Amino acid sequence: MDRIKVYYTRIESDYSDKDFSLYLNYLPSYLHKKLLKVKHRNTRNSKLFGLLLMQHGLKIESSNEQVLSNLEYTSKGKPFISGASEFNISHSQNIVVCAVSNSEIGIDVEKIRDVNINNFKIYFSTDEYTDIENSSAINKSFFKYWTKKESFAKAIGEGLTISFANVNFNKNRISYNTKNLFSHEISINDNFITNICTEQQYPNIEIEEIIFYNKCTHSNNV
């Protein structure tokens, strides 16, 4: 049985710009400029911790201390490292996740929140939209579907360029054109929905929280 490792972290409410500068130094210098160009503070912090989680996970898998020095991007913007494990990052509000696997992988996390589903009707089939609309927990149902579709799109490296309405479900099997993968919902926090999409139908999924920052002390998990 193949293993998928999911690392996640929480960004504490008292996390400061000084802390950002401290943790930025744990990444290769060429990534500093890219992160500092991100104007929105919360997005910049989420991207930083996504990279730290990825670096942490890939170091364990490869024992390569300089693993992020070889970070590349596909033409569609999906990051990869030649010769390393597959990985994918997602973030929502104060939660950041990273999945590491030896096969194709996508992950999406979303905070359950109020959403006007009418604005997203084009992303769902008629049956899917009806199912969401008739749900007793509309927002939760919406994000269950959305995280499945987005994790699939990220796994195949296409992002939002594919037609979400044509991403089809059969139990946990997801298909689009000739591509078939499997969706697995995991539990990280009751207020969030997290889905993984992978080639593996019955993976061994391990979940680990990494505490980079604590309001009482700085962690060494970098």
Tens of pLDDT along 97-143?
999 999 999 999 999 999 999 999 999 999 999 999 999 999 999 99
Kindly report the backbone phi and psi dihedral angles of residue 31, in degrees, each rounded to the nearest multiple of 5, phi listed first. Answer: -85, -15
pTM: 0.93
Q: Does domain 3-209 match CATH 3.90.470.20?
A: yes
> Looking at residue 215, what is its pLDDT?
44
Query: Would you list the domain boundaries of the chain?
Result: 3-209
How many angstroms separate the CA atoms of 7 and 100, rounded?
8
Beta carbons within 8 Å of 137's beta carbon, 6+ residues apart? none
- Could you report the per-residue pLDDT of 25-68, keeping only the tens digit for each? 999 999 999 999 999 999 999 999 999 999 999 988 776 667 88
The runs of H, that is alpha helices, within the chain are: 17-24, 29-36, 41-62, 126-133, 138-155
